[in-house]
Chains A and B, each alone.
Chain A
Amino acid sequence: MDSKIITKLVEIIGEKYVSTRPDVLLAYSSSASTGYDSIKPDAVVRPGNTEEISRILKIANEYKIPVIARSGGSSLQGEVIPKEGSLVVELMRLADVTLYEDLRSVKVGAGVTFGMLDKFLNKHDLWLPVYPESSLVCTIAGNVAVNGAGPGSSTEGCIAELVLGLEVVLPDGTVIQTGTEASPHVPGPFLRYAFGPDITGLFIGSLGSLGIITNVSVKVTKRMRQFHYETYGFETAEQAEKFLISLKQNDINAVFASIYEGRILNFFMDMLGEEYEIPEHDWPDFTVSITIGRMREDQLTSDVALAAKLCESHGGHVIGIRQLPQGEWDDRMRTFARSSYAHGWHWRILYHHQTPSNWHASVKVIWEVMDEYGLLGHTAGFQTGHSSYNFYPHLYFDPTDKEEEEKVKEAHVELSKRLFKTGAVPFKLAPYWVEGVEEMKDYLNFIKAIKQTLDPNGIMNPGVLGGL
């Protein structure tokens, strides 16, 4: 990067927070996305506020420098891997939190992690009821940029459902505020769908390719304290799938619900069974693990009783082993870190959503690909929102075995193509989901038009959102 640009960056945020050191650039060449090639940026900056970011983007736009916005660095599909000649804008210094207790909302800077916010909200008997499993590392803004989910999402849906507004710095440096806060006269964030179209939604899941999210306003609710943990056994996948759907239809508040097939459950037991003190058990072919949460005890009691009835009506039985769902729930802020280490490999992940009734289709395809390529992995996921199931299958490789790593990359692409045909959809529009997909052509052209309008110089995280 030209030294005069570095000088301008230093003028904006000071020498302390601008780096072109080889060791620093190397450290920003990768993220938690293992299985992706590292690329060093030309410079890294750590701005402290929106105004600085705006000025930085004006310079980047003027000189057509690719910009990679990065916060926790915990994304798993290569979203923040830099490009050649790029500038990484690291956002962890934006750590303000403002609570609007009467509006039941909170505004957080792009450097606030879920763990930080959870501690803050706990003091007010509140919570943000979705916990990405990297909550101790990932920021709310980063999670919004990828439209993530996690424990809590079985009721609440993806993080998008909780967002009330965003502050975004556009590629030309313009700062916009979406939602009610677009008006200077409102008391704070209370409605996302204000002032016309859902501009907030435009930036959710945009992977930093349309602008930099600097502040996020989200809904918060009274902290739930009543929980029941339960496991339910079924002989067929269809029974387990129908059970999950019936929980939704009957308004049972399953904050975290997963289906485990037998071999994956055994795998999980090897990983964390002992630590979670899960007793030995002859598990059925399909186990549904659920945390039911309610604000009031009477509601919880009612839900627990009805869930048992529904289970039996679908041919299942209540297993009664509670340590599995309790372990998952209690460990919800770091399951990502725990599970990623428990089996000793690096991995590629392929996030996608499937309908609960088609849960078996994703599982079938994942196993097929793993078997064909001779890879190890898993098929984990959880129910998400209104009528979806969020899968996050892993494909493992030994980081010292380059051949195996390449094989995982190939299998990963192949898996995305096969999953797409089962009706699965991505919430991160990675290029491999849409390459050569004719049916999506018009939609992608529309996305392209938006990108070109907002970012005519193509500086914002190029190549990440559907290859644009």
Chain B
Amino acid sequence: MTDIDLDYLREELLQCRRCGICRNAVYEDKGFDGICPVWKNSSGFETSFMRGKIQVALALLDGELEKTPENAESLFQCTLCGNCTQICAAEFNPAESLEQVRQVLSDIPNVVRDNLVEKIIKYDNPYSEDNTEKRKWIEGLGYSVPTKGNTLYYVGCTAGMRLPDAAVYTSEILKSAGIDFAVLDNEPCCGSVMIRTGKIEDAKTNAEKVEEIIRNSGAERVIVSCAGCLKTLRKDYPEKFGVKLPKTLHILEYAEELIKEGKLRPKKIEEVQVTYHDPCHMGRELGVYESPREVLKAIPGVKFVEMDTIRETAICCGAGGGLRSYDPDLSKNIGASRISEAEETGATIIATACPFCENNLLSGKKLTNSRMEVMDVVELLAKSIR
């Protein structure tokens, strides 16, 4: 399942007629206002956007370019956000093909990626920290959370170890709706970054480990609060590895249901203008656009406003595809650009549905000295049900 037919991949890449629409198409009728966040926030040479990346990929595969880390750099300077795929008229998926190219060329040394993967294998998280930290936030809840149960909250590395508030708010929502939940004792990383950066065999081994641990937990439903985890568990595991997990839901998909069923009744919060950033993994990849918006709109006091680029055409936060580790400065610059776009709406809060996005948007906010508040939708919802 992880094998890639090289001839087929090459044919796919040759689908590109080099029209260049993947660079900065502004197409008002369709909601595009620029396509490639890397092009916009870097030195902007041709290799920064997909047309150039495909030429580089073909040249590396054909031996026209030497397989060196420098020559492969542009392949990793991409968030794989998929915005180019939305406008590309060719019958192939450029972002998916680039992910496969990374896999096929994984023998080209890439210190950042290799370190990241090693950490995940060794520590079960990419942050080189004691993995039991992922449950530390539970200590402040005031009640115990089992490690096994019907509903499993799969916390994710970033929420568990960098932005634990997202986990606290998620648990608050579940608790308020009367949902008993469990959190794994030693939750492994979902391995998303392994898949994105081409370390597919390691990702497969990791996925099998995750499956076994979740199976042993007795879970019949898995709740996540990270868009990256959602896409990996719901889509990549079955499609790439044949690994099937119990029904996997993002907390906001679940919260939308709970609100409709009357199990969650948001109360008025202090009036605030909020815009929403679509995480690429949740939006373009899985088509989950409505749930976060419905949840926000269900909170009395929230005045919801949209940014210029939203849903299928939303500009990425800059963190995905391994870019946050591979080229942190570029990644943060993209985050800053998204913050600026949010500011144009007049909103004071940019809410999202992914701790990884939130983390990068916070970096972007810092870069721009913006007064924009960055938060997860779960925070607003949790505060409205207290």
Q: Which residues of A contact B (CB under 8 A)?
A: 16-17, 19, 21-24, 26-32, 34, 44, 46, 72-74, 90, 92-93, 113, 115-116, 118-119, 122, 134, 136-137, 330, 333-334, 336-338, 340-342, 344, 346, 399-400
A27 touches B89 (CB 8 A): no
List the 3 shortest-distance A-B pairs measured between CB atoms, nearest first: A27-B46, A27-B52, A136-B25
| Extra 12 A-B pairs, beta carbons < 8 Å, given A73-B18, A137-B21, A400-B11 | A16-B43, A21-B70, A23-B71, A26-B56, A32-B19, A116-B26, A134-B19, A136-B87, A334-B27, A340-B17, A341-B15, A341-B17
Interface size on B, residues (CB 8 A): 38
A73 touches B91 (CB 8 A): no
Complex interface: chain B residues within 8 A of A342 (CB): 89
B44 adjacent to chain A (CB < 8 Å): yes
Contact partner of A136 (CB less than 8 A), chosen from B15, B27, B45, B64, is: B27
Chain B nearest CB: distance from A194 CB in Å? 32
- Contacts A32-B20, A74-B19, A119-B33: A23 and B70 contacting too (C-beta < 8 A)? yes
B89 touches A137 (CB 8 A): no
Complex interface: chain A residues within 8 A of B87 (CB): 136, 334
Most A CB contacts (10 A, CB to CB) among B19, B65, B87 go to: B19
Q: Please measure, in the bound complex, the distance between the C-alpha atom of A115 and the C-alpha atom of B24, giving whole angstroms.
A: 9
Complex interface: chain A residues within 8 A of B18 (CB): 30-32, 34, 73
**In the complex, which residue of chain B has the Cβ closest to the Cβ of A339?**
B89
Chain A nearest CB: distance from B246 CB in Å? 38
Q: Please measure, in the bound complex, the distance between the C-alpha atom of A21 and the C-alpha atom of B52, giving whole angstroms.
A: 13
**In the complex, which residue of chain A has the Cβ closest to the Cβ of B49?**
A27
**In the complex, which residue of chain A has the Cβ closest to the Cβ of B24?**
A113
Chain A nearest CB: distance from B231 CB in Å? 27
Q: Please measure, in the bound complex, the distance between the C-alpha atom of A464 and the C-alpha atom of B223, giving whole angstroms.
A: 61
Q: Please measure, in the bound complex, the distance between the C-alpha atom of A134 and the C-alpha atom of B21, giving whole angstroms.
A: 8
Q: Please measure, in the bound complex, the distance between the C-alpha atom of A341 and the C-alpha atom of B12, giving whole angstroms.
A: 12
Complex interface: chain A residues within 8 A of B65 (CB): 22-23, 26
Q: Please measure, in the bound complex, the distance between the C-alpha atom of A400 and the C-alpha atom of B14, giving whole angstroms.
A: 9
List 10 contacting pairs A-B, 8 Å CB cutoff, sorted by A.
Answer: A17-B43, A23-B56, A44-B46, A73-B20, A115-B25, A115-B28, A137-B23, A330-B29, A337-B19, A337-B21
A23 touches B17 (CB 8 A): no
Contact partner of A340 (CB less than 8 A), chosen from B27, B45, B46, B89, is: B89
Complex interface: chain B residues within 8 A of A22 (CB): 65-66, 71
Complex interface: chain A residues within 8 A of B28 (CB): 115, 118-119, 122
Chain A nearest CB: distance from B9 CB in Å? 13
Complex interface: chain B residues within 8 A of A346 (CB): 14, 17
**In the complex, which residue of chain A has the Cβ closest to the Cβ of B72?**
A23
**In the complex, which residue of chain B has the Cβ closest to the Cβ of A46?**
B44
B368 adjacent to chain A (CB < 8 Å): no
B74 adjacent to chain A (CB < 8 Å): yes
Complex interface: chain A residues within 8 A of B43 (CB): 16-17, 19, 46
B25 touches A336 (CB 8 A): no
Complex interface: chain B residues within 8 A of A17 (CB): 43
B55 touches A341 (CB 8 A): no
